[in-house]
A and B are shown apart, each in its own frame.
Chain A
Amino acid sequence: MISPADLVQIPLDDWVNSFVRDFLVPNFRPFFRSLQVPVTVVLGWLDAFFHWLPMLVFTAILTVIADRTAGRGVAIFTLIALVFIDMIGLWAETMTTLSMIITSVFFCAVIGIPIGIWAARSDRVLLVVRPILDIMQTIPSFVYLVPIVMLFGVGMVPGIIATIIFALPPIIRLTNLGIRNVRADLIEAAEAFGSTRSQMLWEVQFPLALRTIMAGLNQTLMLALSMVVIAALIGAGGLGLTVYTGLGRLNVGAATAGGIGIVLLAIILDRITQSLGEKKAVQTPSLWQTLRSMFGLGKPVKEEQAGKAA
């Protein structure tokens, strides 16, 4: 049988090889290296902080946060889960993973929310961004591990960069969606009172989209957690590494312990971030007030405003 391959063969792999090896790596390696700097800095701080913080203090803080945001049930779960992780001897790995996750999510938010806002305010931007997001979400993460290793090397930071690429789409999508879904009559009202575009964004669109954006952040966080083991392939440490080495040595026990650690961490973080999003639905105070009440610093919103008025 004749097939198109008999007539023309496309050496796609060679092209990509020569593009990455002969063009990207020699010319842009310093550029990509410099991209690592902020990630390295943030990760360094967080990692040092979480490893410095005594286990009991950390557990106490996270339990209180869980209690304040998600209620007593989640708080009790958090307490037991953290104690359990410590007992199975994975505390240090868990802290490493946590600092990786938080770093990834932080950069996803820093990159993703502005892109989401931009896409929401311009159909043309959305037209460009959307297919890129589709590709990011469908392409298997193993595919971009290779160029990442070639451009960034191996280690924690390249692992985090892979995680960022993997976890970025939902926060962009949901920021865009949240802002686009703000009721048209509210936009009209804001416009009728003479708002500029940036006043419209910060006074009306962003606060009203916050709930959806928080849902996006939650999704991003969950995706980041699911990348933990894959990131370990290129040298990221933590619980992912425990699972990965367990796999390599056919050590079922270690792999299971690492897996349970990841699951417990995921549940705790998921419940806390989810309830942040839901809380916005009931009460709708400003972002700052929410953050304050989240950490239990502020008085209840009403009281605070009455105080301001007086």
Chain B
Amino acid sequence: MKPKLRVENVYKIFGDNPEQALEGLKEGKSKIEIFEATGQTVGVQDVSFDVGEGEIFVVMGLSGSGKSTLVRTLNGLIAPTYGKILIDDDDVASCSADRLRKVRREKITMVFQHFALFPHKTVADNVAYGLKIKGEGAAERRKKALAALEQVGLAAYADSFPSELSGGMQQRVGLARGLATDPQILLMDEPFGALDPLIRREMQEELLHLQKKLKKTIIFITHDLNEALLLGDKIAIMKDGEFVQVGTAQEIVDNPADEYVAAFVADIDRGRVFDAAHVAERPITVELGEKGAAEKALELMEEHNRNALYVVDKDRIAGLVTYQELAVAAREEGRTDLSEVMVTEVPTVERETPLNELYGAASAGYPIAVADKRGRLAGVIEAQAVFSQLSGDENDETAVPAEDAEARQSASEGDRP
């Protein structure tokens, strides 16, 4: 699929002699060395990425990493020194001022860190700003502004002034203003950075909720890795003006590209990043009605060194048998009907369940069943696997990476009809 936004080798060098700085970069000099030698400041260096339609692309970096500069090149607020920025077929970096204005009016809007609401306009007029600029009539503007405010739950405040609202509410207005013109791309420059933590969390969830409906292409800038991991379909870690690593949340946490990323990732709540599918293994099962099922189950458990096993009934999860109980029942008492000894109330989770919601189930000691949408057994999670993934200990014997990957693949195959 053609990406909605394509960024090719973008550089931004502040100063009057960018060629010099570019040469320095080619020689592999650092930002500071270049500044000392030439007086040119490298804002962004050689950044390329694609963002697909409906994707949230998060750029994460500390202050001074060039992330705000980068996002401003995307809508031409800052013209890149070199490189291309393609939105559909328009190159924002080189198109005419008229064309750029048209792109801004129709395709791309922005939400700002400090809200940047116009203090002399009412909330509704703020939201309708982009529409007014496009030349829409007053009645139409009002209607669309109210609809946008409705989405963020602030329709009742349409006629208030921004100064009468709290920070969180102001940023909702900022978001509504960004959405009112129905753009395809939304740039968000640390939109929740100025909010307190509780409100920030609330806004993040609301954004994800809205995004499910709206399916905008979002470029989201943040300095908070937790926020990046929560929101991003794809995440780029930025340092000194360049991308250090680009990948999904799990890729970045699992395989940090260098020590810089690793240092960030160290403090992350891994339970929120990884989901059940990530630690699930291919299930070892026995069929409920099968002949000699009890003996087969015992053998399987011995072979794989497990203390419990799932019993399925034509793909459906029927229950769980433990080695101890089954051994007593089958080998000593001669009862071989699995349905008599199996536990039917088993811990079941979905593949997307984050690990931090598995603690309760894992502490029971039984393997956890991962069910797909139709209730079929897609995988099994050993309790130790949950905890070893959380601790980030890759060499733990229960979670050998290769096996892990295979389990993930089998889990995703399980979804196919």
A305 near B120: Cβ-Cβ < 8 Å: no
Query: How far does the alpha carbon of A183 sit from the alpha carbon of B103 in the complex, in Å?
Result: 24
Q: Is B77 in contact with A191, judged by CB distance below 8 angstroms?
A: yes
Chain B nearest CB, measured from A202 CB (Å): 11
B118 touches which one: A186, A199, A305, A306 (CB < 8 A)? A186
Residue of A193, A208, A305 contacting most chain B CB atoms (<10 Å): A193
A149 within 8 Å of B (CB atoms): no
Contact with A along B7-33 (1 / 0, CB 8 A): 000000000000000000000000000
B161 in the interface (beta carbon within 8 A): yes
Q: Which of A194, A208, A284 makes the CB contact (< 8 A) with B105?
A: A194
Partner of B122, one of A186, A188, A194, A305: A305
Residue of A whose beta carbon sits closest to that of B110:
A192
A189 within 8 A of B: yes
* Interface residue? A309 (CB, 8 A): yes
- A192 near B104 with CB under 8 A, answer yes
A286 lies within 8 A of B120 (CB): yes
CB distance from B138 to the nearest CB of A (A): 8
Given A186-B116, A208-B119, A193 contacting B130 (CB threshold 8 A): yes
Contacts of A191 in B (CB 8 A): 77, 104
List of B residues within 8 angstroms of A194 by Cβ: 101-105, 130, 133-134
A105 CB to nearest B CB, Å: 24
1/0 contact trace for A184-208 toward B, CB 8 Å? 0110111111111001000110011
Q: Report whether over half of chain A's contact residues are helix, strand or loop; otherwise say mixed.
A: helix
- Quick one: given A186-B118, A305-B159, are A192 and B75 in contact (CB under 8 Å)? yes
With contact pairs A192-B109, A193-B109, A208-B120 given, residues A309 and B132 touching in the complex (Cβ less than 8 Å): no
In the complex, which residues 129-171 of chain B have their Cβ closer than 8 Å to any Cβ of chain A?
A: 129-130, 132-134, 142, 158-159, 161
Taking residues whose C-beta sits less than 8 angstroms from the other chain, chain B's interface range is: 20 to 34
Interface residues of B in 251-271 (CB under 8 A from A): none
Give the chain A neighbours of B101 by CB distance below 8 A.
194-196
**CB-based contact B159/A193 at 8 Å:** no
Do residues B104 and A193 form an inter-chain contact, with CB atoms below 8 A?
Answer: yes
Q: Within the assembled complex, what's the spacing in Å between the Cα atoms of A199 and B134? A: 10
1/0 contact string of B163-198 vs chain A (CB within 8 Å) = 000000000000001000100000100000000000
Q: How far is the CB of B280 from chain A (nearest CB, A)?
A: 44
By beta carbon, the residue of chain A nearest B114 is A185
**Interface size of A as a range:** 20 to 34
Q: Which residues of A contact B124 (CB under 8 A)?
A: 309
B129 interface neighbour in A183, A188, A193, A208, Cβ under 8 Å: A193
Q: Does B112 contact A (CB under 8 A)?
A: yes
Residues in A with CB closer than 8 Å to B119 are 208, 284
CB neighbours of A124 from chain B (8 A) = none
A302 at the interface (CB under 8 A from B): yes
Pair A188/B116 contact, Cβ less than 8 Å: yes
Across-interface contacts of B104 in A (CB, < 8 A): 191-194
Q: Evaluate contact between A185 and B112: CB separation under 8 angstroms.
A: yes
A194 to B92, CA, bound (A): 13
Contact indicator B112/A189 (Cβ below 8 Å): yes
Residues on B with beta carbons closer than 8 Å to the beta carbon of A189 = 110, 112, 116-118
Q: Is the CB of B116 within 8 A of A185?
A: yes
Tell me, in angstroms, the Cα distance from A267 to B158 when the chains sit together.
40
Residue on A with the closest CB to B103?
Answer: A194
| A183→B115 CA distance, assembly (Å) | 12
Specify the chain A residue showing the minimal Cβ separation from B78.
Answer: A188
Contact B133 A199 (CB under 8 A): yes
Known: A193-B181, A195-B133. A284 touches B161 (CB 8 A): yes
Minimum CB–CB distance from B316 to chain A (whole Å) comes to: 54
Q: Please name all residues of chain A whose beta carbon is closer than 8 Å to the beta carbon of B134 when the two chains form the complex.
A: 194
Residues of A within 8 A of B130 (CB): 193-194
Choice from B105, B120, B142 contacting A193 with Cβ under 8 Å: B105
Interface string of A151-175 (1 = CB under 8 A from B): 0000000000000000000000000
A197 to B293 alpha-carbon distance, docked (Å): 80
Complex interface: chain B residues within 8 A of A305 (CB): 122, 159
Note all chain B residues with C-beta closer than 8 A to A207: 120
Which residues from 73 to 124 on chain B have a C-beta closer than 8 Å to any C-beta of chain A? Answer: 75, 77, 101-105, 109-110, 112, 114, 116-120, 122, 124
Bound together, the chains give a CA A203 to CA B131 distance in angstroms of 13
Pairs A-B, 5 closest by C-beta atoms: A194-B105, A194-B104, A189-B116, A284-B120, A193-B130
Can you list 20 pairs linking A and B with CB atoms under 8 Å apart?
Answer: A183-B116, A185-B112, A188-B116, A189-B116, A189-B117, A190-B118, A190-B129, A191-B104, A192-B75, A192-B187, A193-B109, A193-B129, A194-B102, A196-B101, A199-B133, A207-B120, A283-B161, A284-B119, A306-B159, A309-B124
| Residues of chain A having any CB pair with chain B under 8 Å | 183, 185-186, 188-196, 199, 203-204, 207-208, 283-286, 302, 305-306, 309
